[in-house]
Amino acid sequence: MLSQIRGTWPLIGCWSGVRMCQTGARTKSSSSGLFIGSGLVLQSRSTDVHHNLALEDWIDANVDLQHCSILLLWRNRAAVVIGRHQNPWTECNLPAMQRMGIPLARRRSGGGTVYHDLGNLNLTFFTSKKAYDRKRNLKVITEALRQVRPGLDVQATDRFDILLNGHYKISGTASRLSKKSSYHHCTLLYSAERSVLTTVLNPSHFGIHSNATPSVPSPVANLQDYVPSLQWEELLDALVHQYNAEFGFNSALNLVDPADESVFPGHQKFASELQSWDWKFGKTPMFSVHTFLELKDNQSLAQTRAKLHMEIKNGLIGSCELDIPADWLPKRLSGELSALLVGERFCPHRAAAALSALLRFESGDLKDRLHNLCDAVLSVMG
């Protein structure tokens, strides 16, 4: 079954690429032989961050973007999305996210970390690599906003952000270039939960050294705070209208369901990959942890300090060195702990299962101290 559409042509028409897309939009060839294609506007019904990211992957892999450009509008329930080469442990507060039930997702494009929720609109501009033009895409957004609210001070910057009133960031950009195609996606803060945003994007970790792409923090604002009368539907319509006007297309807004395998066969495969630990965490560039652990004996209230050094590659602990005063715990115990962690995921839950087994073999004071050490090591992992 084709998903419900608001346009007048079936969706499948565009996939062929050589046929005409959408409502009577004609493919023109200018005299120079350049192929000007047609455009399609889609809106995803899903609010699942993995399904939507997988939809982007699907379109990038399956649609011939030489002859057809696409604008995809989507939004997600609360999630944190990191860039392709970023380190989740340094970018966001993983324990807080877990408590709040906010998932982490890693997208395939570069750039920094963003917080998504239903008050944030995402736009993805799919084009051929030749037609890749981020400035032009951002112009669609700024012009659309000026159309509905003339005089609104929105400007695109050199870093491809959009600033409101010259100061507040309302949109950030990232993109992905493939062999022949490209996509440029950006956010648009309409009414996101600012307090949640601040909490989750404040990393809980220190002592991590990595060459992963760092995010550049900026003060943000919601459009709705400055333009309270702007409705969501009004914003969407303005964007669609401006997209058509800018690129000479004539597409209506089509609702699509990414999970519908009859329209998007193979989508589930993309989604599964994006949801896997190996993708989300395993793709983190190599990094190391150098930190101090404050250890406490709950019985005697004695305290001490240990040094921890770990090297993590592909999300797995490659090496682990624990330097603990010999009078606190016998060296063999810290050695056993380190040995047990090597090769395991840099994940507190996996490590907890392994370390709990170690605790079985100790008793009394030694066990308490060992337990305290285990918890300290696990807290480093998020």
Partner 1 sequence: MAAVTRGSFSLLRRMLSHQYHHRGFRSDWTLKPHVFRCDTKLQLLSSRLLHTAMMFRGPIVQFKLSDIGEGIMEVTVKEWYVKEGDKVSQFDSICEVQSDKASVTITSRYDGIIKKLYYDVDTTALVGKPLVDIETESSSEVIQEEDVVETPAMAREEHTHQEIKGHKTQATPAVRRLAMENNIKLSEVVGTGKDGRILKEDILNFLAKQTGAILPPAPFQEIQTPVPAPSLFAAEPVSTPAATQPSPATPKWPVFTGKDVTAPLKGFSKAMVRTMTAALKIPHFGYCDDVDLSQLVALRAELRSVAESRGIKLSFMPFFIKAASLGLLQFPVLNASVDEACQNITYKVSHNIGLAMDTSQGLLVPNVKNVQLLSVFEIAQELNRLQMLGVSGQLGTAELSGGTFTLSNIGSIGGTYAKPVILPPEVAIGALGKIQVLPRFNDGGQVIRAHIMNVSWSADHRIIDGATMCRFSNLWREYLENPAKMVLDLK
- Could you give the CA distance from residue 350 to residue 265 in angstroms, rounded to a whole number? 34
CB of 226 to partner 1, least distance (A): 25
CB of 180 to partner 1, least distance (A): 7
Which residue type is seen at 334?
S
Q: Interface with partner 1 by CB under 8 A: which residues? A: 15-18, 35, 61-64, 66-67, 83-85, 98, 108-112, 128-130, 132, 134, 159-160, 173-180, 182, 211, 213, 265-266, 269, 283, 285-286, 339-345, 348-361, 363, 371, 374-375, 378
Quick check: helix, strand or coil at residue 286?
coil
Look up tokens 């696409």; give the residue. 70
Shorter beta-carbon distance to partner 1: residue 286 or 302: 286
CB of 211 to partner 1, least distance (A): 5
CB of 232 to partner 1, least distance (A): 27
Shorter beta-carbon distance to partner 1: residue 153 or 278: 278
CB of 373 to partner 1, least distance (A): 10
Shorter beta-carbon distance to partner 1: residue 297 or 344: 344
Stretch (H or E) spanning 161: none
CB of 43 to partner 1, least distance (A): 22
CA-to-CA dists, residue 208 to 111, 258, 300, 316, 352, angstroms: 19, 37, 32, 15, 20
Alpha helices per DSSP H over the chain:
12-15, 49-62, 88-91, 94-100, 134-148, 194-200, 223-226, 232-247, 267-275, 277-280, 331-341, 348-359, 364-380
Which residue from 275, 350, 287 is spatially nearest to 315, judged by alpha carbons? 287
Shorter beta-carbon distance to partner 1: residue 17 or 152: 17
- Could you give the CA distance from residue 55 to residue 274 in angstroms, rounded to a whole number? 11
Shorter beta-carbon distance to partner 1: residue 240 or 287: 287
For 332, half-sphere exposure in the C-beta direction (CA atoms, 13 angstrom radius) is: 4
Shorter beta-carbon distance to partner 1: residue 64 or 260: 64
